Amino acid sequence: MTGKIYFTVGPTELYPEVKSFYKSAFEKKIFSISHRSIEFEEIFKTTVRNLKKLLNIPKDYYVFFYSSATECMERIIQNLVREKSFHYVNGFFAQRFYEISLKYKKSPEKVCSSFGEGTKFENISIPNTTELICIILNETSTGVALNIEDVKKLKQKYPDILIALDLVSAIPYYKIDYKYIDCSFFSVQKGFGMPPGLGVLILNEKCIKKAENLYNDGISIGSYNNFLKWKENYLKNQTTVTPNIPAIFVLGKICETLIRYGNEKIREETNNKAKLIYDYFENHNFIKPFVKNRYFRSKTTISLETNIDSEKIIKELARQGLIISNGYKIFKGKQIRIGNFPMHKTKDVKTLIQKFSLFNSNNKFGII
Amino acid sequence: MTGKIYFTVGPTELYPEVKSFYKSAFEKKIFSISHRSIEFEEIFKTTVRNLKKLLNIPKDYYVFFYSSATECMERIIQNLVREKSFHYVNGFFAQRFYEISLKYKKSPEKVCSSFGEGTKFENISIPNTTELICIILNETSTGVALNIEDVKKLKQKYPDILIALDLVSAIPYYKIDYKYIDCSFFSVQKGFGMPPGLGVLILNEKCIKKAENLYNDGISIGSYNNFLKWKENYLKNQTTVTPNIPAIFVLGKICETLIRYGNEKIREETNNKAKLIYDYFENHNFIKPFVKNRYFRSKTTISLETNIDSEKIIKELARQGLIISNGYKIFKGKQIRIGNFPMHKTKDVKTLIQKFSLFNSNNKFGII
């Protein structure tokens, strides 16, 4: 066994139970069953039921399984946009969503904030031709989290425009009132502490209706994985193609584990660990929170800017068995990012923080 | 441990080694590593190298990882077809490929054979506007396998038309001369004996050039998973998005195992087991090979028609721990299908066959 702990922003440390879920699946030969079998339908049903229970998703919402959050973005654009998607862009993942719309020859619009900043949407007006508003709740690339209440107010202001909310790296921590959100999605290698390879899309009937409209008007909404094909299969507790059965099975088990553990306990612990981290770095000499406005600081993916070459910090910590993330793209070398997900234990967070005193008290790692 | 053996056509029995590959991955925390890390690049390189060695794929071919064979079909249509794909349809998977082209608003054409029949392509003429010929080598839905030499001749007759070959459930058994095939694909839950969740696309530079042409002409070739984005990432030993890391890792290990075992040995064993199965059912009273022409009989997915309700056969065998597949779609209840992949042992095939004497000697299962 490696003694490493992954404090990365995802893929990250697995829930300790994941290994035993795989073990039992191998014993029961679950990975050999047909995705059209009754056994698989039972797994599908259980996973959807547990996920809805954990996240408090309305019963009449659909849950579609894709291969990544990026595939979710693509299917959303294909199925919900005739021409005009509107994107709030304050990081690389929001930018990706915007570009997917462009690549499908739609005419997206965007409003941008500087990376590291957020918005309460008060001064953002949405063009009235907009069909879909696309928002990233927790920008993993910058460590900015928007406030879900602000997103809710925006939806209340524009009740007739569909809203798509990226929840990657946000849930299960952030409490979402799904009835205000037409569609949302996440991937399992962040707060769900699983190996990567599954994206989950949660959507309401309005999204299906929109896809139907586009389809009836002769617009391509994709093929085997479009919303209409998926709805048809969802109602049979089946997927559209042979899916990542291990991931669907394990997700159901993880949700069960988290339900038992308790949502409120997860939130309280995440808050406490985030406070430990932010408080510490407020007073660090060379490493500081990147997001200045506390209101927009992510509790789950914490970005820190540093004038020590971040690669050196990462290497030194790795030598001690603690793995953290580098800054994203243009922030590489200038930032570090720490994942603070439910599987990260308080005592390990404390250990991690202590290690940073090494970079506080001297400059042998080279201030740049 | 369940005592079941899966003789299904995929998902099917896993290679016995798969479990230990997962175990070692858990120990090394491979499922927590970043898909942008050097560790992942090493895994990517190893898997591609082993796959190319096992299948004898030319060095300059690309290997892209998608989430399923159906996604491969979709990406092929998006990236290689401006208007005209041509489909040889003799089963449901070929029909799916055709429909994906339709769904993307292309103008595909098709030539059909009755299900259960094949072609040597001698009398099939391809319209000269065709950009891409789409063929399923081994139709899992019917148990018809085309002859790879006939496909090669077709390509020689139309050297300037791209060819896409579905190798799902065909390889590693069928020996492919990849230099005649512009692109081909498979999924891992068949002959590679893995849990489902990964599609693998093998393609040459001509395919990249075609995607470039379409892109330059303003045609949508998809977004994050298009061939140009993939090529860029492939050259860095990376994927386009956070992929199914477990599957990419395990595929590399399986290829290594198969290389050690030896291709020719796999082929010889598969031939022998297929002969056992076909010979037996030639002489069965109520269950007969569905494909009448021996030339087109699949060695890996064997379809049998029966005038006993096939559900009853399947249930009775399952009771004895032997799992086989039902007929596909319209053949449900009327056919059974047996997977004959490298992980299926000769002694188990013999056991399976013996069980069928039960349905030969009396009609307590109800002749229909």
Per-residue pLDDT tens digits for A62-93 = 999 999 999 999 999 999 999 999 999 999 99
Q: Which residues on chain B are in Cβ contact (under 8 Å) with A103? A: 220-223, 226
Question: Chain B 130-189, CB below 8 Å of chain A: which residues?
Answer: 187, 189
What's the token pair of residue A259?
């339900």
User: Closest to A197 (Cβ–Cβ): which among B19, B99, B197?
Assistant: B197
Mean of the pLDDT values across residues B187-216? Answer: 98
- Asked whether the predicted pLDDT for residue A318 surpasses 90, the reply is yes
Q: Is A296 exposed, middle or buried (0-12, 13-18, 19+ CB in 10 A)?
A: buried
What's the token pair of residue B71?
């996604």
Q: CB–CB of A195/A18 below 8 Å?
A: yes
Mean of the pLDDT values across residues A99-106? Answer: 98
Specify the DSSP element, H or E, that contains B287: strand B287-289
Q: CB–CB of A122/A145 below 8 Å?
A: no
User: Does B227 lie at the interface with A, CB-CB under 8 angstroms?
Assistant: no
- Asked whether the predicted pLDDT for residue B235 surpasses 90, the reply is yes
Mean of the pLDDT values across residues B193-212? Answer: 98
- Asked whether the predicted pLDDT for residue A362 surpasses 90, the reply is no
- Asked whether the predicted pLDDT for residue B8 surpasses 90, the reply is yes
Mean of the pLDDT values across residues A35-60? Answer: 98
> Per-residue confidence at A140, pLDDT binned at 50, 70, 90?
very high
State the amino acid at position B222 in one-letter form.
G
What's the token pair of residue A333?
């070398």
- Asked whether the predicted pLDDT for residue A319 surpasses 60, the reply is yes
Q: How far B67 CA sits from the closest chain A CA (Å)?
A: 6
pLDDT tens digits, B332-354: 999 999 999 999 999 999 999 99
Question: Chain B 253-312, CB below 8 Å of chain A: which residues?
Answer: none
Q: CB–CB of B172/B192 below 8 Å?
A: yes
User: Closest to A19 (Cβ–Cβ): which among B26, B66, B189?
Assistant: B26
Q: What is the pLDDT of residue B366?
A: 60
User: Closest to A32 (Cβ–Cβ): which among B6, B225, B240?
Assistant: B6
Q: What is the pLDDT of residue A360?
A: 81
In this complex, do B222 and A74 lie within 8 Å of one another by their Cβ atoms?
yes
pLDDT tens digits, A230-260: 999 999 999 999 999 999 999 999 999 999 9
User: Does A64 lie at the interface with B, CB-CB under 8 angstroms?
Assistant: no
Q: What is the pLDDT of residue B358?
A: 86
In this complex, do A11 and B19 lie within 8 Å of one another by their Cβ atoms?
no
User: Closest to A197 (Cβ–Cβ): which among B32, B222, B247?
Assistant: B247
- Asked whether the predicted pLDDT for residue A366 surpasses 90, the reply is no
User: Does A38 lie at the interface with B, CB-CB under 8 angstroms?
Assistant: no
The DSSP code sequence of B206-253 is HHHHHHHHHHHTT----STTSHHHHHHHHTTT--SSS--HHHHHHHHH
User: Does A329 lie at the interface with B, CB-CB under 8 angstroms?
Assistant: no
Q: What is the pLDDT of residue A3?
A: 87
> Per-residue confidence at A365, pLDDT binned at 50, 70, 90?
low
The ipTM estimated for the assembled molecules is 0.97
> Per-residue confidence at A1, pLDDT binned at 50, 70, 90?
low
In this complex, do A34 and B8 lie within 8 Å of one another by their Cβ atoms?
yes
Q: Give the C-alpha distances (Å, rounded to integers) separating A102 from A81, B51, B70, B244.
A: 11, 35, 24, 26
- Asked whether the predicted pLDDT for residue A277 surpasses 80, the reply is yes
Nearest-Cα residue of chain A relative to residue B18: A26
**Whose CA is closest to A172, among A257, A230, A89, A234?**
A257
In this complex, do A14 and B8 lie within 8 Å of one another by their Cβ atoms?
no
State the amino acid at position B213 in one-letter form.
N
In this complex, do B243 and A325 lie within 8 Å of one another by their Cβ atoms?
no
**Whose CA is closest to A304, among A96, A82, A142?**
A142
User: Does B215 lie at the interface with A, CB-CB under 8 angstroms?
Assistant: no
User: Closest to A70 (Cβ–Cβ): which among B1, B105, B241?
Assistant: B241
The DSSP code sequence of B319-340 is HTTEE-EEPPGGGTTTEEEEE-
Mean of the pLDDT values across residues B22-45? Answer: 97
- Asked whether the predicted pLDDT for residue A285 surpasses 80, the reply is yes
User: Closest to A195 (Cβ–Cβ): which among B66, B70, B245?
Assistant: B245
pTM of the model: 0.97
User: Closest to A31 (Cβ–Cβ): which among B14, B187, B221?
Assistant: B14
Q: What is the pLDDT of residue B367?
A: 56
Write down the mean pLDDT value for chain A.
Answer: 96
pLDDT tens digits, A118-128: 999 999 999 99
- Asked whether the predicted pLDDT for residue B362 surpasses 80, the reply is no
- Asked whether the predicted pLDDT for residue B97 surpasses 70, the reply is yes
Q: How far B160 CA sits from the closest chain A CA (Å)?
A: 28
Give the HSE-up count for residue B149: Cα atoms under 13 Å, Cβ half-sphere: 2
Q: What is the pLDDT of residue A321?
A: 97
Q: What is the largest CA-CA distance in chain B?
A: 66
Number of alpha helices (DSSP H) and beta strands (DSSP E) in chain B: 12, 15
Q: CB–CB of A245/A321 below 8 Å?
A: no
Strand B132-136 to B162-166 pairing: parallel
What's the token pair of residue A334?
């200038």
Q: Helix, strand, or coil here: B131?
A: coil
> Per-residue confidence at A367, pLDDT binned at 50, 70, 90?
low
Q: What is the pLDDT of residue A358?
A: 86
In this complex, do B223 and A29 lie within 8 Å of one another by their Cβ atoms?
no
User: Does A17 lie at the interface with B, CB-CB under 8 angstroms?
Assistant: no
User: In angstroms, rounded to a whole number, what is the distance separating the alpha carbons of residues B100 and A224?
Assistant: 7
The DSSP code sequence of A262-330 is -HHHHHHHHHHHHHHHHHHHHT-SSEEES--SGGGB-SSEEEEEESB-HHHHHHHHHHTTEE-EEPPGG
Write down the mean pLDDT value for chain B.
Answer: 96
| Helix, strand, coil content of chain B in percent (nearest 5) | 40, 15, 40
For chain A, domains (ranges, CATH) are 5-12+263-361 (3.90.1150.10), 18-260 (3.40.640.10)
Q: Helix, strand, or coil here: A138?
A: strand
Q: What is the pLDDT of residue B3?
A: 87
- Asked whether the predicted pLDDT for residue B233 surpasses 90, the reply is yes
User: In angstroms, rounded to a whole number, what is the distance separating the alpha carbons of residues B70 and A242?
Assistant: 9
User: Does B34 lie at the interface with A, CB-CB under 8 angstroms?
Assistant: yes
**Whose CA is closest to A140, among A320, A8, A275, A311?**
A8
Token pair 């997860």 in the structure block, residue: A266
| Helix, strand, coil content of chain A in percent (nearest 5) | 40, 15, 40
User: Does A224 lie at the interface with B, CB-CB under 8 angstroms?
Assistant: yes
Nearest-Cα residue of chain A relative to residue B23: A19
User: In angstroms, rounded to a whole number, what is the distance separating the alpha carbons of residues A275 and A280?
Assistant: 8
